[in-house]
Structure 1
């Protein structure tokens, strides 16, 4: 199976149109970007399809995939209409062309997805387990169509890996998990629950292994080899016997290994995650299966992240893997065609990606590029190295009460020579010009040279990028670190601390170096102590007090001065523009001529049209589709529901207004429409220019 197209519209924050050519789809983005929502949306789609309840899917979508080697399956839902096609030919029924298995592997504590999409199918299977034909499962009735695997399946996964004779599985257990000897395997059976599984194949298998509670690995292998079940079915029978709450036939499996009699709790979190991934791919899914992996690299050691792709390799010909990740290391191991950046529920346009790739060169990977694109901060600081970022962050955490006007994020460019070309590339491409970008140079010889190249003076203490081709520049600036009083030497970020703080770090670094100087030159020793001292100072600064950061105030004052300067420039430009830039319309009322702006929102799967008036009132228009559900924190839930029953019609997944309704605030209106709690200025969109209402707030 290989997904070629995936379009999802108005599911939570998603509006995604994805075209794919790879067997791995890696969704990268910050928290809130919509990565996990895509996994939830796919699970929701197939949950309903497997039950033949496709019209109940609460959002529009299109999914197209290759199936059975060469057939193209397309499923599309528009409002209440759904279409099935195979090789472009309409089909009335799609069951035989659905994935053979959906396997979700989740790392966190959140069980919303299990409750919503996986548990209902599982419990339907358990409730029908004694029937000759389990409803909805068709030919593949060994287990439910949708399996959910998390931390509770470590022991099942490990057992099946250990009894496998496959060479790559043995290598995995020895090299990745560090297992060289199995001492014992103990089962805790719940015989009182066996009656729940009368005449089922699950019970048949359990009866084969419950002759005694403890086995050697050879004894267990012998029993498995003589039974009529292949190893992938053994995994699924163990899954079924263990999963159902209060109906378990199997309570636990304890595996002791190696000379010191370790058990599964002695694995690291990363090792546990790796064995779940390996076993799921090896045993849980059939060919033409779909695997959904939420942050599979979480808790895995940096060196082992690279192995994740190697685990996938042998399964990719017949399985589609969709994963989410925060990891730049894992991202770097994947092919470019597998990577998809997400930001606030939308795919980042390739043009933006290409621009950033061209200006960041080789010093930023996809993950770092995505973090830059996804930043919500109005001020972006570009610094030379990792210590600059750490010290500025720690100083701001200590002093932020005095600088509440500042809100910024730091990005590392790995050297002073890259700041000006980076800023220049952003300027030439008009990359997010609504932000302020400030390059920060060390106040030394190298910093001076770069600071004097490509910038023009604005004031004595800061410059802006030189304008070219008549293009205005109000966003790209540069500064040097302000030297503390009485400092005449070169000034790097460490110089902003009092001398005794750096002396403490030097002493600690020197002490650590003693006894490790053999076969090192004086220059190497000095360089090593210097770098170690910088690392120590950076780490120590996390616990410094406010007074230790006093010299950073000059830096934050300077950033604030640039921000105010830029705001005055932009305000002046706005005042020069005619008020005709505001997309106002007029209508005649009994009180005279009234001006308004047409606005809309589609947040939380709504379709709402409105009118914004000069007195900041908002009218939601007749015919708007409002959300049925509301967030828990929405205070007027009861009042809203009672009123909507009078002024709206309840239709499939929405309330449809039968009359206009006016509100005294923009946020009150959007919260009523969406059932959420959000900033109306940010989420009402002006129809004419597709910009947030916030952009005309002052006007």
Structure 2
């Protein structure tokens, strides 16, 4: 997907937002103070796409132009009415929305919209939950049970499943970057779905259908071993009438000699059916069938296995975004990331654009867009001005988003931090050091120094651990002349 134009009127603090995307870049960033509308922009895009999918206009007027799968799409919403144009030809909304349900044959939306929010956003969660419920019903049907979801939301809570899927499907780039070599002692726990009645339904696959049945069968038939535990529900408060028990099955993969062989077989089986382990388990989770996963990791400095919970929050965040993108990407993608760097160290932030780029192949990069909100200057330090949107607080007559006049690329982190155009810090130094420097400057530009001034300059130079030759304390005439030109009123 390539973004072209977006107008939003009346969504939260986006009173009259007009954005032009003149150049098709893979990576795009939105920066601005808290409350300036960065997250609202991505929420609005999601509102539009999911709203059109369900033929329900979002609660604001908009126009949205983009290129998806080689077609130019123009979506408009005005006074709660939707209109759709494909390659400048008007299409009936019913026809357009129905074609979005054609699975691999749909050609009007990006094949994947991946969403990540570092914090909680109930509005986005509700939108995604509505789509997940619909998709679960859609894939119960035999003619659509192999469809892949158009919208996927990743989170740090899914990082464990994502890491397991990366190993299962041999995506080694990110795992090697994290210093992880293999997984061992893999166990998956599934439980019988709500509505399963052992007295009426076949017990092996719990009377599941479609994509869910295919995933349960793949796990059941490739596991090294399985254990079943039944919990009696006849007398349990709130239990459904006629349901004798809930079954919990623990599936184990591999053994001490072949720790990952069962996992390899599971991945191969799912791949042949057009699935992967991450999407399959999340699909089972949505149905209440996937209960938990556990495994241990080998890597780091030695061969001693350790638990997943020993990974840092930064490592989990990389898995939730970069790992999810590797597992879900399609030829045509839209990726919406809200502060995906909150737990990353500076080195990973510096390398993050490369990680996102490397998660896609050359053709995918040409046909995809990543839009991310960030507060980190490192993240935009390699971008051009056409890749950056500056978000501004609501103001009468002022645009909600503008492009910077200068390219962030080549300016350096300190300059980006202190530039009023970007992050607007008063100084790249801490407050106390800057206060001492300001005091030293105020003394050094005086035409006449008292003995007290000279002593104070010595103290300041000592405190700042600056040793200049000739030093400021010696009143270097060239430096003082320069300062007086800069500060003529002193």
Query: Normalization by structure 1: what TM-score?
Result: 0.51
2:328 aligns to what?
Answer: 284
Kindly report the root-mean-square deviation, in angstroms, between the aligned alpha carbons of the 2 structures: 3.7
SS in 1 for 2:30: strand
TM-aligned CA deviation for residue 160 of structure 1 = 1.4
TM-aligned CA deviation for residue 127 of structure 1 = 4.9
Tell whether 2:280 aligns with 1:237.
yes
Tell whether 2:410 aligns with 1:369.
no
1:542-571 Cα offsets, whole Å, 9 max, x none, are xxxxxxxxxxxxxxxxxxxx9xxxxxxxxx
TM-aligned CA deviation for residue 126 of structure 1 = 3.4
2:178 aligns to what?
Answer: 177
1:164 aligns to what?
Answer: 169
SS in 2 for 1:99: coil
Tell whether 2:340 aligns with 1:296.
yes
TM-aligned CA deviation for residue 226 of structure 1 = 4.4
Aligned pairs (5 A) from 1:69-468: 69=70, 71-93=71-93, 94-95=96-97, 96=99, 97-115=108-126, 117-127=127-137, 130-132=140-142, 142-165=147-170, 169-174=171-176, 176-191=177-192, 195=196, 198-210=208-220, 211=223, 212=225, 213-215=251-253, 216-226=259-269, 229=272, 232-244=275-287, 247-258=288-299, 259-314=303-358, 315=360, 316-344=365-393, 346-350=399-403, 353-354=404-405, 365-366=415-416, 368-369=418-419, 386-387=429-430, 389-390=431-432, 440=438, 442-443=440-441, 447-448=444-445
1:120-151 Cα offsets, whole Å, 9 max, x none, are 12123335653446xxxxx6863543221112
Gap change, CA 1:64 and 1:111, over 3 Å in 2: same
1:10 aligns to what?
Answer: 10
| Contact 2:385 2:406 (C-alpha < 8 Å) held by counterparts | no
SS in 2 for 1:488: helix
SS in 1 for 2:405: helix
The structure where helix makes up a greater share of residues is 1
1:183-227 Cα offsets, whole Å, 9 max, x none, are 321212223559476122223222222343222212210343245
TM-aligned CA deviation for residue 484 of structure 1 = 12
Residues in 2 aligned to 1:261 and 1:361: alpha-carbon distance in whole angstroms: 44
Gap change, CA 1:332 and 1:230, over 3 Å in 2: farther
Q: Which has the higher contact order (CA 8 A, sep 6+)?
A: 2
TM-aligned CA deviation for residue 267 of structure 1 = 1.3
1:631 aligns to what?
Answer: none
SS in 2 for 1:208: helix
| Contact 2:140 2:211 (C-alpha < 8 Å) held by counterparts | no
TM-aligned CA deviation for residue 79 of structure 1 = 2.3
Residues in 1 aligned to 2:194 and 2:283: alpha-carbon distance in whole angstroms: 13
Gap change, CA 1:491 and 1:306, over 3 Å in 2: same
| Contact 1:293 1:322 (C-alpha < 8 Å) held by counterparts | yes
| Contact 2:17 2:400 (C-alpha < 8 Å) held by counterparts | yes
Which residue, 51, 54, 72 being the options, matches 2:54?
51
SS in 2 for 1:354: coil
2:43 aligns to what?
Answer: 40
Residues in 1 aligned to 2:377 and 2:168: alpha-carbon distance in whole angstroms: 35
| Contact 1:292 1:323 (C-alpha < 8 Å) held by counterparts | yes
SS in 1 for 2:295: strand
TM-aligned CA deviation for residue 348 of structure 1 = 4.6
| Contact 1:309 1:334 (C-alpha < 8 Å) held by counterparts | no
Gap change, CA 1:281 and 1:230, over 3 Å in 2: farther
| Contact 2:27 2:353 (C-alpha < 8 Å) held by counterparts | no
Residues in 2 aligned to 1:367 and 1:58: alpha-carbon distance in whole angstroms: 36
TM-aligned CA deviation for residue 83 of structure 1 = 2.6
Residues in 2 aligned to 1:257 and 1:231: alpha-carbon distance in whole angstroms: 29
SS in 1 for 2:180: coil
Structure 2 unmatched ranges of 5 or more: 100-107, 197-205, 226-250, 254-258, 469-488
1:439-487 Cα offsets, whole Å, 9 max, x none, are x563378x52xx89xxxxxxx9xxxxxxxxxxxxxxxxxxxxxx99945
| Contact 1:190 1:250 (C-alpha < 8 Å) held by counterparts | yes
Structure 1 unmatched ranges of 5 or more: 134-138, 376-380, 396-415, 417-439, 453-459, 461-482, 507-522, 528-561, 563-699
TM-aligned CA deviation for residue 307 of structure 1 = 2.4
Gap change, CA 1:103 and 1:198, over 3 Å in 2: same
| Contact 2:63 2:75 (C-alpha < 8 Å) held by counterparts | yes
| Contact 2:146 2:274 (C-alpha < 8 Å) held by counterparts | no
| Contact 1:161 1:173 (C-alpha < 8 Å) held by counterparts | yes
| Contact 2:381 2:411 (C-alpha < 8 Å) held by counterparts | no
Residues in 2 aligned to 1:182 and 1:373: alpha-carbon distance in whole angstroms: 43
Residues in 2 aligned to 1:365 and 1:234: alpha-carbon distance in whole angstroms: 44
Aligned pair count reads 400
Residues in 1 aligned to 2:150 and 2:276: alpha-carbon distance in whole angstroms: 14
